[in-house]
Structure 1
Amino acid sequence: MTQSREDSYVGVFDAVVGFGARPALLVIDFTKAYTNPASPLYAEGVVSAVAESVDLLDAARRAEVPIIFTKVLYHPSGADGGIFIEKVPFLRKLVPGEPLAEIDEAVAPRPEELVIVKQYPSCFFGTSLIAALTAQRIDTLVLLGCSTSGCVRATAIDALQHGFRVVVPRECVGDRHQAPHDANLFDINAKYGDVVSKAEVIAHFAAPAGLRPPSHTASSAGGSD
């Protein structure tokens, strides 16, 4: 009898790492390129994720959890885009001054919150992110943003490889299609971090230090598969 997908992972890819002592929120590429219906990158799944992220950002700010944003920008020449802009030519449009490159107003960063500019999928690649995190003694990254199968997944893998705990609130990440969204949430949860509900993250932030609830159990992991 063929095992179900879930059963084939049990006992091997079902551990829970939970939150550490010092989390930060990383908001990945929630730009108008994904939320403006006139954009070729427009994705309803990202629009939904942006809306779901508003109260999580509020909870993080109340708890004084550091928040870092990222967005993609290229030199007008495209010289810093390498093969990536050859593979996805639309990315060449994301240059300084382009409205689609700006972060959606619904989740706009506050003046004191760091915005990191990147050119490739992982928020770590070629950026100052690792230095910013280690300087603040961050040990856990809560990932919001898009796309689940692209920049979120790439960042989750690199975060793990740099020694950070990874938590992904499933309602707060989005993609262009449900199938890659679900598949990548499943894979992130199996191998790279914990995929949890937004409510669990908000509850963790709201609890006093030392009284925070334990992380989710393995039975609550994964997306809506």
Structure 2
Amino acid sequence: MTAEIDWNAEMARVRTARAVRTRVGPGRNPAVVVVDFQVAFTRHAEIGPGTARSLASTAQLLDAARAVGIPVIHLVMVLDDLGDRMLAQRVRSSLTEGCLRGDPRTAIDPAVGAQPGDHVVEKTVASGFFRTRLEGLLAELEVDEIVLAGTSTSGCVRATAVDAAYRSLRVSLVEECCDDFRPLSEQASLWDVQDRFGDVVTLTETLDRFAAGAPGHRAGATA
């Protein structure tokens, strides 16, 4: 008989493993990509205090990026028809119901609003790469690394990270700048990203890196 999993112990194990997992490392030309920090996803019944903290941290990240000329790209879900959504979201109730074009909930949250010089890329599913102009924009900007912020960590952020990794882009997910009202899914996704697709980094090291004008964050130890 298989022993029952101690989920508290498993969570502790995963956090330890994430901290020591080998890092992919940074690129030479990063861009900050903010995923779906729209009113539809930052102001709903299930958000907690972590949402405000993530928005405030992302505002710091964006200020630091803009100050040194690192491109800022906002991904936003905008639908011309609710039928444009993937099947699972059409079948189940979903926050994406607030993403019809013209709905004020599609607006980027004012805490991290787009500024002159930023880029805005519309999408219709979780990944920022699916049938969008993101890949072409990154190529035009000669970007080799995306620094990720946004919501939700286990949904649109993770999907974008995975698709970026498939394109051999370096991925740096800034933990304090991502939000998810599903805490268990978030922790699993952070481990997934660190283990398979890119790096989970801190806001402090990213701000220090940007301020120094250096491309890299320190590589971690090999697990």
| TM-score, normalised relative to structure 2 | 0.85
- 5 Å matches for 1:32-111? 32-36=39-43, 39-40=44-45, 42-75=47-80, 77-90=81-94, 91-111=96-116
**Aligned residue in 2 for 1:27:** 34
Q: Note closer, same or farther for the CA distance 1:49–1:8 as it changes in structure 2 (3 Å cut).
A: closer
Query: 8 Å contact 2:40–2:105 — kept in the other structure?
Result: yes
In structure 2, relative to structure 1, the CA distance for the partners of 1:19 and 1:82 (3 Å cut) is closer
Distance 1:179 1:42 in 2: 14
The correspondence of residues 63-212 of structure 1 with structure 2, limited to 5 A, is 63-75=68-80, 77-90=81-94, 91-208=96-213, 212=214
- Counterpart CA distance in 2 for 1:51 and 1:9 is 28
Residues 25, 218 of structure 2: 8 Å contact kept: yes
Supply the RMSD in Å over aligned alpha carbons: 2.7
Q: Tell me if 1:218 matches 2:223.
A: no
Q: Which amino acid aligns with 2:89?
A: I
**CA 21–165 in structure 1, closer or farther in 2 if over 3 Å, else same:** same
* Cα shift at 1:155: 0.6
Q: Deviations over 1:82-123 (max 9, x none)?
A: 414314434233112212111100100013211111110110
Structure with more relative contact order (C-alpha pairs < 8 Å, separation 6 or more): 2
Alignment length (residue pairs): 212
Contact between 2:15 and 2:191, CA under 8 Å: does it hold in 1?
Answer: no
Identity of aligned residues (%): 34
CA 1:143–1:88 in structure 2 vs 1: closer, same or farther (change >3 Å)?
Answer: farther
- Asked if the contact 2:38–2:109 (Cα under 8 Å) also holds between the matched residues in 1, the reply is yes
Distance 1:6 1:34, change over 3 A: closer
SS of 1:111 mapped into structure 2:
coil
**Distance in 1 (alpha carbons) for counterparts of 2:60 and 2:16:** 36
Q: Is the 8 A contact 1:44 1:176 kept in 2?
A: no
Code of the aligned partner of 2:209: H
- Cα deviations across residues 186-215 of structure 1 (Å, max 9, x unaligned)? 11111111111101111111113xxx2742
1:47 and 1:7, CA in 2 relative to 1: closer, same or farther beyond 3 A?
Answer: closer
Query: Which amino acid counterpart does residue 220 of structure 2 have in structure 1?
Result: A
Does 2:19 match 1:16? no
Instruction: Note if contact 2:74-2:119 (Cα within 8 Å) is conserved in structure 1.
Output: yes
Structure 2 stretches of 5 or more lacking a match?
none
Counterpart-to-counterpart distance in 2, 1:142 and 1:126: 21
* Structure 1 residue 136: Cα displacement: 1.1
